[in-house]
Amino acid sequence: MSQLFSPLTIRGSTLRNRIALSPMCTYSSEDGFASDWHLVHLGTRASGGCGIVMCEATAVHPDGRISPQDLGIWKDEHIPGLRRVTDFIRSQGAASAIQLAHAGRKAGTYRPWSEVRGFIPIEDGGWERIGPSPIPFRDGAPTPVEMTQQDLSDFIEDFVAAIRRSDEAGFDVVEIHSAHGYLLHQFLSPISNHRSDAYGGDFKGCTRLHHELVEAVRHAWPETKPLFIRISATDWVDGGWTIEESIELAKSLKSLGVDLMDCSSGGSTPDAQIPVGPGYQVPFAERISREAGILSGAVGMITEPKQAEEIVSSGQADLVFLGRELLRNPYWAHIAAQELGARPNWPNQYAWSVG
């Protein structure tokens, strides 16, 4: 029997299988609003059979957007558009998830298909970036303003407000984005965090913001709803954040109510040498799950049904997150079910003719 197609219950949510649409920015919002694009893009992956459909990195504050076209949830007016998306995802039997994000020092870039690349200058519509320390991401990138205690409190407040809106918008799962060199990862990594106050220095200091945030978030997010966090399990550079620290972080976040660690890597420096290949981040999910005793998600070049089945059935991860493969083929889950001898779950509109 396929384990990939076995259900998983986390708190009050039962996922129909272990396949998650990985969060992927589509840079298609105006002023943060979800549009028909989001309904169709995410809705297709829900009718495509995913267990969880996760929205792209969604900004908790306009200054936390990676690009001006990012999806947002910093005001109540954003709720109805998102509600439309979650209603449709649920109607297709999938759980809806939202990844809440702040880009910190990596905020304010042109979207990938713009004629111009890189960071947007303030005079062309960019904005002041914030971060743990005034260290730019790379040569020529903007130098962020070091966050004060007030900025940190405001950040937690913005996040909690976004969590409340996520609940009102009908999301089943929230994922905190603490990977890929964005704001929360910037606090963890010695590459970007040179603070000498309570939010820097040793492991306890660099993880303090995570602990405060998760405590606040867990109070605001219903007890019955799962909470995930995506981390970069390693920076892939000497002197950077490590897998051992990720395991320690997972243990403490579990005790504060995080249910699943979504294990990605990299993004804090352009100098990292990353050995990209099929399933290259799976060992991080496996170690974190085994050594911290927490559910884990594996992501990164998982493209084949048998590969995904092996990851779940061998206990390396509880969920597989698929990114680009689900862009190529939104119906991947149905095809995988056929290949693995599980029952495909085509929507009725298609099942009578192709199922």
Ligand X SMILES: Cc1cc2nc3c(=O)[nH]c(=O)nc-3n(C[C@H](O)[C@H](O)[C@H](O)COP(=O)(O)O)c2cc1C
**CB 107, CB 127: distance < 8 Å:** yes
321, with CB counted inside 10 A (0-12, 13-18, 19+), is buried
CB of 67 or CB of 351, closer to ligand X: 67
The reply to whether 63 sits near ligand X by the rule CB under 6 A is no
Selected from 15, 95, 163, 299, the binder of ligand X by CB under 6 A is: 299
Q: Give the nearer residue to ligand X in terms of CB position, either 84 or 180.
A: 180
The contact pattern for ligand X, residues 224-243, with x = CB under 6 A and - = no contact, is: ------x-------------
Segment contacting ligand X by CB under 6 A, of 4-12, 203-211, 235-243, 295-303: 295-303
The nearer residue to ligand X, 204 or 328, going by C-beta atoms, is 328
CA–CA distance, 319 with 24 (Å, rounded to integer): 17
Binding mask 90-119 for ligand X (x = CB under 6 A): ---------x--------------------
Contact residue for ligand X among 87, 167, 310, 325 (CB under 6 A)? 325
For ligand X, give the closer residue by CB, 30 or 223.
Answer: 30
Confirm whether 182 is a catalytic residue.
Answer: yes
Q: Which of 27, 182, 199, 331 is catalytic?
A: 182
d(CA 88, CA 103): 28
Q: How far is the CB of 252 from ligand X (least distance, A)?
A: 21
* Among 188, 293, 176, 265, residue whose Cα is nearest residue 228: 176
Over the window 15 to 44, marking each residue x when it contacts ligand X by CB under 6 A and - when it does not, the resulting string is: -------xxxx-------------------
Alpha-carbon distance of 127 to 108, in angstroms, equals 7
Q: Which of 42, 59, 147, 179 binds ligand X (CB under 6 A)?
A: 179
- Please give the Cα distance from 256 to 218 (Å, whole number): 8
Cβ proximity of 264 and 222 under 8 Å: no
Is 10 a binder of ligand X (CB under 6 A)? no
Which one, of 214, 292, 218, 211, lies nearest residue 251 by Cα?
Answer: 292
Q: How far is the CB of 297 from ligand X (least distance, A)?
A: 10
Alpha-carbon gap, residue 311 to 61, rounded angstroms? 36
Q: Nearest distance from residue 30's CB to ligand X, in Å? A: 18
For residues 350 and 322, the answer to whether their CB atoms sit within 8 Å is no
Query: Taking the chain, what is the end-to-end CA distance rounded to the nearest angstrom?
Result: 19
Selected binder of ligand X within 2, 34, 42, 56 (CB under 6 A) = 56
Write the binding mask 257 to 276 for ligand X: x where contact by CB under 6 A, - elsewhere.
-------x------------
The residue (of 51 and 323) whose beta carbon lies closer to ligand X is 323
Length of the chain: 355
CA dihedral 201, 207, 213, 219 (to 10 degrees): -130
Q: Which of residues 145-174 bind ligand X (CB under 6 A)?
A: none
- Residues touching ligand X: how many (CB under 6 A)? 20
Residue 44 CB burial class (10 angstroms; 0-12, 13-18, ≥19): middle
Rule CB under 6 A: is residue 72 a binding residue for ligand X?
Answer: no
SS3 136: coil
Question: Which residues would be at the binding site for ligand X (CB under 6 A)?
Answer: 22-25, 56-57, 99, 177, 179-180, 230, 264, 299-302, 322-325
Catalytic site positions? 182
